[in-house]
């Protein structure tokens, strides 16, 4: 299991938090997601054999947020 | 049909807009809803014989926003 932190811009409310959390959690290989609205940091732990950082980033961007 | 404008606090993003819009639109008697994120103003047209302003306010508050 690998842990990374994504730096996400534009999350403003609980709905945003839920959208990002949901999009990441539903990816196969993602084990745990923690979203902080205050910092914009999204901690993700995932199985590197099933998903990679590029796919995580893509899932967040598809919800309308920038990953910096 | 009656038209009112609710002054809603705390809507920050498109999800908030959608939540408020959806909660009002699904009320029986509500004809049209327009939400402005920039101003927080929510224009609602509704049938006074089916729904009243108190119920509109309640529906918005149930989504977690204050109506001032």
CB contact B38 to A (< 8 Å): no
CATH architecture of B2-67: 2-Layer Sandwich (3.30)
B10: left (phi over 0), alpha (psi -120 to 50) or beta: left
pLDDT (0 to 100) of residue A40: 97
pLDDT (0 to 100) of residue A34: 98
pLDDT (0 to 100) of residue B47: 98
Q: pLDDT tier at B61 (50, 70, 90 boundaries)?
A: very high
Cα A15 off chain centre by: 14
The C-alpha of B1 sits at a distance from chain A's nearest C-alpha, in angstroms, of: 32
pLDDT, one tens digit per residue, over B1-58 is 999 999 999 999 999 999 999 999 999 999 999 999 999 999 999 999 999 999 999 9
Which pTM does this prediction carry?
0.85
pLDDT, one tens digit per residue, over A13-45 is 999 999 999 999 999 999 999 999 999 999 999
User: Hey, of B9, B10, B11, B12, which one would you mutate to test binding to chain A, going by the most A CBs within 10 A of its CB?
Assistant: B12
Domain boundaries, chain B: 2-67
- What is the b/e burial string over A11-27, where b = at least 16 CB atoms within 10 angstroms of the residue's CB? bebbbbbebbbebbeeb
Contact assessment for residue B47 and residue B31, using Cβ atoms and an 8 Å cutoff: yes
- Rounded distance, CA A21 to CA B12, Å? 18
Q: pLDDT tier at A10 (50, 70, 90 boundaries)?
A: very high
CA distances from B44 to A55, B54, B57 (A): 41, 13, 11
pLDDT (0 to 100) of residue B15: 96
């Amino acid at each position: 299991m690998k842990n990374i932190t994504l730096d996400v811009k534009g999350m403003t409310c609980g709905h945003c938090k839920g959208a990002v959390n949901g999009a990441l959690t539903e990816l196969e290989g993602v084990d745990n997601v923690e979203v902080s609205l205050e910092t914009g940091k999204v901690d993700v732990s995932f199985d590197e054999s099933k998903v990679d950082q590029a796919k995580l980033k893509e899932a967040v961007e598809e919800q309308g947020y920038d990953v910096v």
